[in-house]
Structure 1
Amino acid sequence: MNFAIAIDGPAAAGKGTIGRAMAAHFGFPHMDTGLLYRAVGRRVLSGMPALEAARALTPEDLQADGLRTAEVGQAASQVAALPQVRAALLDFQRAFAQRAGGAILDGRDIGTVICPDAAVKLFVTASDDVRAQRRHAELTAKGADLTLEAVLADLQARDARDMQRADAPLKPAEDAMVLDTSRLSIDEAVEKAIALATARMAAREFSPIRPN
């Protein structure tokens, strides 16, 4: 039985951390779909047209160095607003979601577009200030020289692009469970997300196959 878990939300809300932890807990494969757009954005920065970059994407591209930089993040947000790019990556994501046994995907349009029939849908969010503090700490730990104000402005600009784009805008699915992590530790957020997913699984009489 296929059992997809869709996790959506804005940048630095915690969806990637939660997705990886849930994948380890349930024994599901996990895809950070934001890496798809970062990989495309990285190629665009090197001079490749966006649509060509999307069509040529391979799983190996998701392991490339430098995908988490602020510059690549900006490029990713810009290419993600292009309907042709999103369409080119649609099958890539849906094939992953259909893996036998279950799969977890996190992104911005998983529950609304990629997996509208996902058994579990979470929308992970947090306040702008909290998200900016998290992203600033992450980037400065990697050596980036950025002010907190610059990171906040970048996040807000990205949110605006993601929410206002005509194709697959960032928004909670109608049946998504909203998880605000502003006041939660990582462990608390993961625990709450697992509890929500477990309850939904029980309601649907699904028991995941855990790894040995």
Structure 2
Amino acid sequence: MRKITIAIDGYSSTGKSTIAKQLAKALGYVYVDTGAMYRAVTLYAIRKGFVSDTSDNFTALVEALPNINVKFVHNEELGFSEMFLNDENVEKEIRSLAVSRQVSKVAAIKEVRTKLVEMQQEMGKEKGIVMDGRDIGSVVFPDAEFKVFMTASPETRAHRRYKELLDRGDDVTYEEVLKNVRSRDYIDSNRKESPLLLAKDAIEFDNSDMGLVEQFERMHNYALRIIEKE
């Protein structure tokens, strides 16, 4: 049975990574969280003072790109890969609201996208991969056999993200999270470089009122039908 490429795009906090991990595990595929890659670059930029709530120096960030190394390292104990930035495990830190506030504008930088898209395409050369992000089906793998575009209401996504952050011990309010979700939606959808959009051959998947089990079963069945056609 031939392997395929599965591209999962969509808005923030729609559960793309959760579904992608489940599919990869069930199919025996490699899972790649491209959002973690952009978050790692954003964390580097925050640490260096290149981006903040009050000022940005994108030129300095672009010049520093050769010094930024991001990679996934599999954690045998946890059973999944974690993001490393210049050989430092930053898996927890990149999930903070501080990074979420800056990541969309960093991801809009052409040179950043070029660097990371090249890495992502290299990872998927052999197929048998599930990759999630914002432009996987439209830019990274336009010929992917299975494309999904995930969506849900901003309020639903904010509630999900708010709960995740509280469970991590972060000191945030629901209003802050909702504002961040709406801001990221706008930036992701309106940026010049690889905007978030529904690819013409993607399946739109609204999971506002859907549980994890139902989501997975539907996605898995879609994938199996496509694989069996190959």
Counterpart of 1:87 (choices 114, 117, 125) is 114
Whole-angstrom CA distance in 1 between matches of 2:139 and 2:155: 28
1:70 is aligned with what amino acid?
L
Q: CA RMSD in A?
A: 1.5
5+ residue gaps, structure 2: 51-59, 72-83
SS in 2 for 1:122: strand
| Residue of structure 1 in register with 2:206 after alignment | 180
| 1:98-113 matched pairs, under 5 angstroms | 98-99=125-126, 102-113=128-139
| Residue of structure 1 in register with 2:62 after alignment | 51
How much does 1:117 deviate?
0.5
5+ residue gaps, structure 1: 205-212
Whole-angstrom CA distance in 2 between matches of 1:57 and 1:31: 16
Whole-angstrom CA distance in 1 between matches of 2:165 and 2:177: 9
How much does 1:179 deviate?
1.1
How much does 1:45 deviate?
0.6
Whole-angstrom CA distance in 2 between matches of 1:11 and 1:17: 12
Bigger proportion of residues as strand: 2
In the TM superposition, what whole-angstrom CA distance separates every residue of 1:127-155 from its partner, at most 9, and x where no partner exists?
11110100000011111222212111110
Contact 2:37 2:70 in 1 (8 A): no
Q: Structure 1 residues 30 and 70 mapped into 2: Cα distance closer, same or farther (>3 Å)?
A: same
SS in 2 for 1:46: helix
1:29 is aligned with what amino acid?
V
SS in 1 for 2:219: helix
How much does 1:87 deviate?
0.8
Counterpart of 1:137 (choices 147, 163, 185) is 163
| Residue of structure 2 in register with 1:161 after alignment | 187
Does 1:114 find its partner at 2:117?
no
How much does 1:85 deviate?
0.9
| Residue of structure 2 in register with 1:33 after alignment | 34
Does 1:194 find its partner at 2:220?
yes
| Residue of structure 2 in register with 1:128 after alignment | 154
Which stretch has the larger CA shift, 20-29 or 145-154?
Answer: 145-154
4+ residue segments displaced more than 4 Å = none
The percentage of counterpart residues that share the same residue type is 35
In the TM superposition, what whole-angstrom CA distance separates every residue of 1:43-93 from its partner, at most 9, and x where no partner exists?
001116432454422313284240100111222211101111101112100
